[in-house]
Structure 1
Amino acid sequence: MAKRPLLYAVLAFLLGHISIIFQDIALWLLLTFALIIVLIIAGLRQACSRKLACLLLVLFMLGSVQRYTVDYYNTTALPLQLDQADAEASGIITSEVEIDGNMVRFTFQAKELFFPRQDLPIHESETFAVQLTLQEQSELEQASTWRRGLNIALQGTITIPAEANNKGMFDYRQYLQRKGIHWLWKSKGSSSLQIMDSNWHYSSLLHQIDLLRKRMAAPLDQLYNEVESGYLKGLILGIREDLDPEQFRSFSTLGLTHILAISGLHVAVFMYIVTTVLKWMRCSKEQIISLLMLAIPCYVAITGASPSVLRAGMMAMLGLLAARAGRLKDGLHIIAIVAALLVLWKPYLLHDVSFQLSFVVTLGLIVGVPAVQRLLPQTTRWKWLIDLFSVTVVAQIISFPLSIYYFNQFHLLSLAANFFLVPFISMIVMPLSSISLLIGHISLAAAKPISSIVHWCNELTFVIVEMLSKVNQLYTIWATPSIYWILLWYGIWFYLFTRWRRIDRKPELSNSSDRSVTEPIDGYDELSIIYPQQQKSWLQANKPTWICLLLAGLLLVYGYAPQMLDRNATISFLDVGQGDASLIRTPTGKMLLIDGGGTIQFGQQEEWKQRRDPFEVGKKVLLPLLMKRGVHQLDAVIISHLDSDHIGGLIEIIKMIPVKEIWWNGSYKQSSEAEQLFQLIMEKGIVLRTPIIGEQINIDRYTTVDVLWPLQQLPSAIYEAEKQNEQSLVFMLTVYKTTLLYTGDVGSSTEESIINEHRMRVEEARATPLPPIDIMKAAHHGSRYSTDYSWLSFVQPRTTVISAGRNNVYGHPHPDVLGRLSQYQSLVWRTDLQGEVQFIVDPKGSYYVKWN
Structure 2
Amino acid sequence: MKIFKRLLPSSHIHLYAIGLGLAWLAYRHWWAWIPLLLYAYWMRKQRISKSIWVMMILFYGWTWYVFEQPIPTPNPQGIIVQQEDVKAGYRYTVQYGLYRYHLYTPEVLNIGSIISVEGDFKTFETDRFEGAFSPKDYYRSKWVTHVIYQPKIIQQHQIWIPHQIHQDLKQHIGQLPTYTQVFVSSLVLGIFESDMKARISKIGITHLFVLSGLHVTVLMGILNRCLWFLPKKIKLGLETVLLFTYLWVTLFPISLIRAVIQTLLFEWLNHDKIRYTRLDAFSFTWVLMLIINPYYLSNTSFQLTFLVSFLFIISNFKTDALGMMVSTFSAQTLVLPITSKITNQVYPLAFLVAPWFIPVFSYVLLPLSWLALWDKLGMILNPVFELVLNTIGFLEAGAFYFTIPVLSGIFALFYWILWGMASIGPYKIKKAYRMTYVVLFLVLIPQLKYLNPIGKVTFLSVGQGDTTIIERPFRQCTVVIDAFGDVMDYLYLQHIQTIDYLIITHGDFDHHRETEPILNSFQVKQLVLSKYDEGDFEASMRKYHPLYVKQGDKLPCGDIELNILSPIHKSNDDNENSIVIQTKIRDTTYLFMGDLGVSGETTLVNQNQELSSDILKVGHHGSITSSHISFLTRVNPKIAIISAGVDNHFGHPHPAVVDRLKQRGIDVYQTNVVQTITFIDLPFYKRHIILVHKKG
With normalisation by structure 1, the TM-score equals 0.69
Which residue does the alignment assign to 2:314? 367
Counterparts of 1:256 and 1:220 in 2: how far apart (Å)?
23
- C-alpha change, 1:70 and 1:734, in structure 2 (3 Å) is closer
Aligned pairs (5 A) from 1:35-46: 37-39=41-43
Amino acid at match of 1:10: H
What do residues 229-250 of structure 1 show as CA deviations (whole Å, max 9, x unaligned)? 356522443114xx14x65455
> One-letter code of the match for 2:111?
W
Report matched runs for 1:699-714 at 5 Å.
699-700=557-558, 702-710=559-567
2:427 matches 1:569 = no
Conserved in 2, the CA contact under 8 Å of 1:7 and 1:336? Answer: no
CA distance in 2 between counterparts of 1:89 and 1:39 reads 49
Amino acid at match of 1:709: S
Q: Does the alignment pair 1:455 with 2:416?
A: no
The residue type equivalent to 1:107 in the other structure is V
Indicate how the Cα distance of structure 1 residues 808 and 447 shifts in structure 2: closer, same or farther if over 3 A, else same: closer
* Alignment of structure 1 residues 404-423 onto 2, 5 Å: 404=340, 407=341, 409-413=343-347, 415-421=348-354, 423=356
Structure 2 counterparts to residues 133-532 of structure 1, below 5 A? 133-134=105-106, 139-140=107-108, 143=109, 145-147=110-112, 150-175=113-138, 184=146, 186=148, 188-189=150-151, 191-196=152-157, 198=159, 205-211=161-167, 213-214=169-170, 218-219=172-173, 221-224=175-178, 229-230=181-182, 233-240=185-192, 243-244=193-194, 247-249=196-198, 251=200, 256-270=205-219, 296-297=243-244, 299-317=246-264, 330-343=277-290, 346=293, 348-370=295-317, 384-404=320-340, 407=341, 409-413=343-347, 415-421=348-354, 423-424=356-357, 427=360, 431-432=364-365, 434-435=367-368, 438-439=371-372, 441=374, 443=376, 447-462=378-393, 464-465=395-396, 468=399, 471=400, 474-482=402-410, 485-500=411-426, 503=427
Following TM superposition, by how much is the alpha carbon of 1:435 offset from its aligned partner in structure 2, in angstroms? 2.0
Give 1:639 shift: 0.6
Q: 1:749 to 1:635 in 2, by over 3 A?
A: same
1:517 aligned partner: none
CA apart distance, 1:807: 4.0
> Residue 838 of structure 1 contacts residue 851 of structure 1 at CA under 8 Å; is this kept in 2?
yes
- Matched-pair contact (CA < 8 Å) for 2:99–2:143: yes
User: Cα 1:385–1:288, aligned 2, differ >3 Å: closer, same or farther?
Assistant: farther
Q: How far apart in 2 are the matches of 1:7 and 1:257?
A: 35
Superposed CA deviations along residues 486-527 of structure 1, whole A, max 9, x for unmatched, are 444444444554422xx5x9xxxxxxxxxxxxxxxxxxxxxx
**Deviation sequence 1:177-227 (CA, Å, 0-9, x none):** 55666x5363634x52322475xxxxx553144245426xx24643116xx
Aligned to 2:552: 694
Q: 1:632 aligns with which of 497, 500, 524?
A: 497
Instruction: Please give the alpha-carbon distance, in whole angstroms, between the structure 2 residues aligned to 1:574 and 1:447.
Output: 50
2:696 paired with 1:846: no
Alignment check: 8 A CA contact 2:174 2:181 kept: yes
Q: Which amino acid aligns with 2:186?
A: G
2:627 equivalent in structure 1: 787
Q: Kindly tell me: are residues 173 and 841 of structure 1, through their superposed partners in 2, closer, same or farther at Cα, counting changes over 3 Å?
A: same
Distance in 2, matches of 1:358 and 1:595, equals 38
Change (3 A) 1:60 1:690: same
Task: Please state how far the C-alpha of 1:594 moved relative to its aligned partner.
Answer: 1.0
* Aligned pairs (5 A) from 1:676-687: 677-678=540-541, 682=543, 686-687=544-545
Distance in 1 (alpha carbons) for counterparts of 2:126 and 2:254:
25
8 Å CA contact retained: 2:137, 2:298: no
Structure 1 position 103, deviation (Å):
4.8
SS at match of 1:238: coil
**CA distance in structure 2 between the aligned counterparts of 1:108 and 1:18, rounded to whole angstroms:** 32
CA distance in structure 2 between the partners assigned to 1:355 and 1:337 by the alignment: 15
What letter is aligned with 2:385?
V
Cα distance change of structure 1 residues 131 and 412 upon mapping to structure 2, 3 Å threshold: same
Alignment match of 1:102 (pick from 89, 109, 115): 89
Instruction: Answer whether contact 1:479 1:561 (CA < 8 A) is retained.
Output: no
Distance (whole Å) between structure 2 residues aligned to residue 408 and residue 633 of structure 1: 21
Check conservation: 1:235, 1:430, Cα contact below 8 A: no
The aligned residue for residue 525 of structure 1 is: none
Q: Does 1:131 align with 2:103?
A: yes
Moved more, 830-839 or 15-24: 15-24
**Cα distance in 2, alignment partners of residues 790 and 729 from structure 1:** 20
8 Å CA contact 1:573, 1:582 repeated in 2: yes
Where do 5+ consecutive residues of structure 2 fail to align? 1-7
Cα deviation, 1:662-720, whole Å, max 9, x if unaligned, reads 1102456444x666x53xx74xxx442223433322221x12212223368xxxxxx9x
Matched residue, 1:68: 61
Shift of 1:572: 1.3
- What's the offset of the Cα at 1:420? 0.6
Contact 2:529–2:548 (CA under 8 A) maintained in structure 1 = yes
Distance in structure 1 (CA, Å) of the matches to 2:463 and 2:67: 30
Q: Which ranges of structure 1 fall in alignment gaps of 5 or more residues?
A: 42-52, 111-125, 199-203, 374-382, 506-537, 598-616, 713-718, 760-768
2:50 is aligned, of 45, 57, 74, to: 57
Q: Does structure 1 retain, via aligned residues, the 8 Å contact 2:611–2:634?
A: no
Counterpart Cα distance in 2 of 1:284 and 1:89: 48
Which moves more between the two structures, 328-337 or 734-743? 328-337
- Cα–Cα, structure 1 residues 624 and 107, in superposed 2: closer, same or farther, change >3 Å? farther
Are residue 12 (structure 1) and residue 5 (structure 2) matched? no
Query: Which residue does 1:647 correspond to in 2?
Result: 512
Q: Is this contact kept in 2: 1:834–1:851, CA < 8 A?
A: yes
Equivalent residue, structure 2, for 1:749: 599
Query: Counterpart of 1:441 in structure 2: which amino acid?
Result: W
Deviation at 1:293, TM superposition (A): 6.8
**Offset from partner CA, 1:369-410 (integer Å, 9 cap, x none):** 54xx7xxxxxxxxx7321121111211232123333xx2643
Deviations 1:259-286 (A, max 9, x none): 33211233345556778x869xx98998
What SS does the aligned partner of 2:344 have?
strand
What SS does the corresponding residue of 1:97 show, helix, strand or coil? strand
| Higher gyration radius (CA) | 1
Pair 1:818–1:345, CA change in 2 (3 A) = closer
Do the aligned residues in 2 keep the contact of 1:781 with 1:804 (CA within 8 Å)?
yes
Quick one: structure 1 residues 649 and 55, their matched pair in 2 at CA, closer, same or farther if it must change by over 3 Å? same
CA contact 1:798–1:827 (8 Å) conserved in 2: yes
CA shift in 2, pair 1:16/1:442, >3 Å: closer
Find the residue that maps to 1:146 and give its secondary structure. Answer: coil
1:640 CA displacement: 0.6
Contact 2:115 2:157 in 1 (8 A): yes
Counterpart secondary structure, 1:588: helix
* CA RMSD, Structure 1 to Structure 2 (Å): 4.4
Is the Cα–Cα contact under 8 Å of residues 82 and 163 in structure 2 kept in the other structure?
Answer: yes
Q: Pick from 667, 673, 676: which aligns with 1:827?
A: 667
* Mapped contact 2:16–2:55 kept (Cα < 8 A): no
Alignment partners' CA distance in 2, 1:179 and 1:481: 24
CA distance in 2, matches of 1:334, 1:88: 37
Q: 1:727 and 2:577 equivalent?
A: yes
Change (3 A) 1:212 1:499: same
**Which amino acid in the other structure matches residue 93 of structure 2?**
F
Residue identity (%): 21
Q: Distance in 2 between the 1:27 and 1:222 partners?
A: 50
